[in-house]
């Protein structure tokens, strides 16, 4: 917006009538001017009051200053502050970069007060390297868009706005070969035997295949169910120096029953189709193998009668029936699972609490491998591998903080979906050359869309103020 004057001669005198006008670009590409407010005849002091001034940082003088901006084709009025005429036809947008997710990651970092914790432990080096900023950059990168260190150093950092939140980072990474982190092993009988024989006492509470339940089912039938929380019951059985925990969940039973019905119904339909097809016995076996893979455990609930080697496939030679005995056993065990532990205690609620902690640990490993991409590790030295894992752990701390905030304020959303939504907020640098050879730079993030604004409101987050403008000594310095 700017002030525009219209001159009229009335009664032999020249009169100037002022208006506030806004320039807008229409759909056809033309620039049109919209009348905003009519001011009439105003004196110089009133005109100066209506002129908008902005505070900018003068990089040449290293100090803030007040400027009044006017287009180069408009006559500027005399004002108390410095008047700068800008070349609107040479306006440029530079350095579009991802901003929203970087801001959210730094907000979580500040919420945990990690700067206060790490400031003493990561002081700057003698060469001026800010190791705290290096650490913060690695953690935010692992949270937002995990990848290799080479990608972060050469590609991602320049296309993100993380440098606008922290100071410039000076670090260089050496050439490293690719190594991998091994998966955690599932405890076997040999592993459990080693844990029992260890000098330091080691305890375990692990899942056990349902096949062992068949051997212990008669003993479990004599025991009562004990409620540990809503819709969850357990039975405890001491057997050969170990404690077996049989847990039953009504919610899990409904889920497993629904999955079993859907797969079994689809399997029976497929078997009926195979009865009507003109197939050889070998072709039938191949199609049954595909149906077995798709049906999973539901395939074992059906008894099949296959044709002989020299017989054709007909409804008489190929028959199937539902095994109702196995179906009753499956129904009885749906929603139940067996745990095995060497913990000595008969408090079922405490044992269930330990098991829930185990599932949380497994969920943490899942998120580290999935969302935070802890593998592969592009290092070969043990110290670097340990540092990489620690960076991933710190990123997981930020993710858990965001997860708990979502659980309370926006249930149903995941941290990854929120980061992807916020990553759509970009930041650009608006360059406005002036007639005196300088350049006015305004760094501005894009305004959030409706869904992003709704997300910010739901999470009770408020975007920071736009960065203050700055003016360079000359326009060529910014090229």
* pLDDT of residue 29 exceeding 70: no
Q: Comparing 85-89, 364-368, 475-479, which segment has the lowest mean pLDDT?
A: 475-479
Smallest CA-to-CA distance from 114 within 88, 87, 133, 91 is with 133
Instruction: Supply the pLDDT for residue 28.
Output: 58
Kindly report whether the global pTM for this prediction surpasses the value 0.85.
no
Which residues does residue 430 pair with via DSSP β-bridges, in sequence order?
Answer: 93, 442
Smallest CA-to-CA distance from 362 within 468, 207, 136, 202 is with 207
Beta strands in 169-317 (DSSP E): 205-208, 226-229, 232-239, 242-249, 302-305
Spatial separation of the C-alpha atoms in residues 79 and 240, rounded to whole Å: 94
Instruction: Supply the pLDDT for residue 49.
Output: 59
Spatial separation of the C-alpha atoms in residues 141 and 106, rounded to whole Å: 11
Structure tokens at 26: 């229409």
Instruction: Supply the pLDDT for residue 315.
Output: 87
Residue range 179-207, pLDDT digits in tens: 233 333 446 777 777 777 777 767 777 77
Percent of the chain with pLDDT over 70: 81
Report which DSSP code applies to 179: B
**CA angle 180-183-185, nearest 5°?**
145
- Please give the backbone phi and psi of residue 106, each rounded to the nearest 5 degrees, phi first: -65, -35
Overall average pLDDT of the 432-441 stretch: 84
Spatial separation of the C-alpha atoms in residues 223 and 234, rounded to whole Å: 10
Smallest CA-to-CA distance from 469 within 65, 114, 82 is with 65
Spatial separation of the C-alpha atoms in residues 83 and 438, rounded to whole Å: 13
Q: Please give the mean pLDDT across all residues of the chain.
A: 80
Helices marked H in 296-347 — which ranges? 324-333
Spatial separation of the C-alpha atoms in residues 386 and 374, rounded to whole Å: 11
**Would you tell me the crossing angle of helices 250-276 and 281-295 to the nearest 10 degrees?**
160
Q: Which residue has the higher pLDDT, 327 or 437?
A: 327
Residue range 260-319, pLDDT digits in tens: 999 999 999 999 999 999 888 899 999 999 999 999 989 999 999 999 888 888 888 899
Q: Comparing 78-87, 262-271, 411-420, 428-437, which segment has the lowest mean pLDDT?
A: 78-87
Overall average pLDDT of the 374-394 stretch: 85
Smallest CA-to-CA distance from 164 within 355, 444, 436 is with 444
pLDDT band at 54 (very low <50, low <70, confident <90, very high): low
Q: Report CA 59 to chain centroid distance, whole Å.
A: 37
- Please give the backbone phi and psi of residue 29, each rounded to the nearest 5 degrees, phi first: 95, -10
Q: Comparing 291-300, 305-314, 345-354, 364-373, which segment has the lowest mean pLDDT?
A: 345-354
What are the residue ranges spanned by the domains of the chain?
1-50, 52-98+425-479, 100-180+374-420, 186-204+226-341
pLDDT band at 383 (very low <50, low <70, confident <90, very high): confident
């Amino acid at each position: 917006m700017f002030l525009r004057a219209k001159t009229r001669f009335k009664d032999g005198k020249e009169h100037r009538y002022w208006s506030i006008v806004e320039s807008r670009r229409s759909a056809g590409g033309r620039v049109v001017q919209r009348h905003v407010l009519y001011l009439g005849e105003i004196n110089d002091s009133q005109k100066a009051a209506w002129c908008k001034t902005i505070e900018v940082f003068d990089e040449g003088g290293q100090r803030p200053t007040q400027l009044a901006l006017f287009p180069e084709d408009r006559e500027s009025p005399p004002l108390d502050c410095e008047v700068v005429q800008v070349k609107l036809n040479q306006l440029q947008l530079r350095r579009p970069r991802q901003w929203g997710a970087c801001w959210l990651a730094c907000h979580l970092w500040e919420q945990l007060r990690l700067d206060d914790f790490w400031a003493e432990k990561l002081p700057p080096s003698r060469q001026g390297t800010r190791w705290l900023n290096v650490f913060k950059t690695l953690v935010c990168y692992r949270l937002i868009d995990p990848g290799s260190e080479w990608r972060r150093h050469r590609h991602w950092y320049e296309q993100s706005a993380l440098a606008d939140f922290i100071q410039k980072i000076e670090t260089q990474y050496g050439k490293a070969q690719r190594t991998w982190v091994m998966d955690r092993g599932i405890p076997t009988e040999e592993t459990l035997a080693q844990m029992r024989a260890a000098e330091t006492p080691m305890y375990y509470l692990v899942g056990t295949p349902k096949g062992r339940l068949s051997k212990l089912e008669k003993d479990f039938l004599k025991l009562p169910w004990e409620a540990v929380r809503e819709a969850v019951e357990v039975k405890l059985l001491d057997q050969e120096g170990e404690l077996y925990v049989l847990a039953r969940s009504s919610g899990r039973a409904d889920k497993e029953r629904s999955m079993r019905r859907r797969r079994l119904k689809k399997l029976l339909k497929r078997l009926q189709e195979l009865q009507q097809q003109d197939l050889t016995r070998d072709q039938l076996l191949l199609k049954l193998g595909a149906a077995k893979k798709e049906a999973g455990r539901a395939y074992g609930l059906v008894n099949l009668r296959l044709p002989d080697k020299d017989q054709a496939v007909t409804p008489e030679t190929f028959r199937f029936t539902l095994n109702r005995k196995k179906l009753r056993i499956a129904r009885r065990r749906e929603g139940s699972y067996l745990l095995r532990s060497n913990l000595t205690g008969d408090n079922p609620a405490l044992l269930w609490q330990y098991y829930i902690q185990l599932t949380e640990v497994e969920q943490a490993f899942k998120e580290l491998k999935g969302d935070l991409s802890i593998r592969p590790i592009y290092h070969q030295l043990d110290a670097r591998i340990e540092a990489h894992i620690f960076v991933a752990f710190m990123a997981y701390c930020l993710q858990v903080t965001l997860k708990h905030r979502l659980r309370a304020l926006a249930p149903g959303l995941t941290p990854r979906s929120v980061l992807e939504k916020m990553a759509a907020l970009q930041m650009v640098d608006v360059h406005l050359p002036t007639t005196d050879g300088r350049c006015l730079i305004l760094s501005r993030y894009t305004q959030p869309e409706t869904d992003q604004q709704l997300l910010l409101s739901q999470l009770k987050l408020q975007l920071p103020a736009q960065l203050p403008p700055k003016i360079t000594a000359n326009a060529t310095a910014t090229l």
